[in-house]
Amino acid sequence: MSKSAVLVTGGMGFIGSQIVRMLLNQGEKVVIFDNLRQSDVGLLKKLRFPETNEINTELGDITDFANVFNVLKKHDIKKIIHTAAITFIPTAIEKPSLTFNVNTIGTFNLLEASRIFDIEKFVYISTASTYGDFHYTPADEKHPLDAKDIYGATKAAADRIAISYYRTYKMPVSVIRTTSVYGPGDLENRVAKSFIEKALRGKPLTLEGGGEQRRDFTYVKDAAKGMVLALNSEKANGEAFNISGNQDYSIKELAMIIKHFIPETEIEITEGRKVDAKKGKLDTSKAKKILGYETEYDLKRGMTETIRWFVDVYCPVFGIEPKREVILE
């Protein structure tokens, strides 16, 4: 009998593609389900799967229940890692209806189809944005879900609906809440990606209000590892886990780490928002205890691999000639 496949929704995306790579390395059969919102498959393969052609992709949309149902049936799916979403906060603010449809209804469609097919495991990637402004730090999983924006709210709704499928139907569901993910493959203008690109293009890095905002930056391989650990753990059923880099840094410290590797980088400080969403460190002790999760990458180590990817893959694909010397140890 042939081995059943793991379905990775959003598997052509930034975090999803790392999960796919990790599963393939572990010998799993993987099917990607993605609507290629960000770009075409050729470009995404070059950027996110530069070393392999072995990916099996089903083009489809999680907001279409019949589409989801047919993919689960066609591939005899027994396990699902669900990452597909509208993920960039400015896009979510601009398109709240799309965001609700994809993030909340799309997750519901996957859960409902999984219930019908008696799925063996469902792992949903949630976010620390569900906590909103942190009431305390490090924030553990008991922190109130008090999302500030439409992105966080649609993800919080899906986070709770996912757990309700465990509580109501005993479906083996786990939820991973991660935060400020960075690393090879990010194409959205989040702070780490935007700073590296500016530094390579010879533009200054701007620290609004001094760059004192704090983030628990999570390297994409650590985030993917947390998801895969949950996929394979029965003890994780019905539980939510924080996964992060386990250390918070200010945006200014992030800029200084980039300057360490690209020494000619200029940093300028402007007036402006002193504080945006109040965030801090996530408490990952539950993931450590139950999943055996350990953070492998601190910000400096993760940045080394990220900047290397920018130089080796991103710049050549987009025809960017780095204007600054890069020194990676």
Cis peptide before 138 (omega within 30 of 0): yes
Query: Which of left, alpha, beta for 110 (phi over 0: left; psi -120 to 50: alpha)?
Result: alpha
Q: Tell me the sheet residues that pair with 173.
A: 122
CB of 123 to ligand NAD, least distance (A): 11
Using CA atoms, how far apart are residues 70 and 308, in angstroms rounded to an integer? 40
152 binds ligand NAD (CB under 6 A): no
Binder among 19, 47, 62, 92 for ligand NAD (CB under 6 A): 62
Residues of span 12-51 touching ligand NAD by CB under 6 A: 12-16, 34-38
Q: What is the CA radius of gyration of the chain?
A: 19
Quick one: 125 or 291, whose CB is closer to ligand NAD?
125
**Is 180 a residue that touches ligand NAD (CB under 6 A)?**
yes
CB atoms within 10 A of CB 185: 25
Contacts with ligand NAD, 90-129, as mask; x by CB under 6 A: ------------x---x------------------x-x--
Angle at 55 (CA atoms; ends 50, 57), nearest 5 degrees: 120
Say if residues 262 and 307 touch (Cβ distance below 8 Å).
Answer: yes
The contact mask relative to ligand NAD for 181-220 (x = CB under 6 A, - = no) is x---------------------------------------
Question: Residue 62 or 287: which CB sits closer to ligand NAD?
Answer: 62
What whole-number distance in Å separates Cα of residue 176 and Cα of residue 126? 6
Question: If binding is defined by CB under 6 A, does position 245 make contact with ligand NAD?
Answer: no
270 C-beta neighbours (distance < 10 Å), count: 11
| Residue with the shortest CB distance to ligand NAD | 13
**CA–CA distances in Å: residue 299 to residues 7, 13, 249, 257:** 30, 21, 8, 8
Q: How many residues make contact with ligand NAD (CB under 6 A)?
A: 28
Site string for ligand NAD, 285-324 (x = CB under 6 A): ----------------------------------------
Could you tell me the smallest distance in angstroms from the CB atom of residue 299 to ligand NAD? 14
Q: Considering only residues 55, 81, 84, 163, which one is a binding residue for ligand NAD as defined by CB under 6 A?
A: 84
Q: Which of 300, 217, 292, 226 is nearest to 257 (CA)?
A: 300
Q: Which residues bind ligand NAD (CB under 6 A)?
A: 9-10, 12-16, 34-38, 61-63, 83-85, 87, 102, 106, 125, 127, 155, 178-181
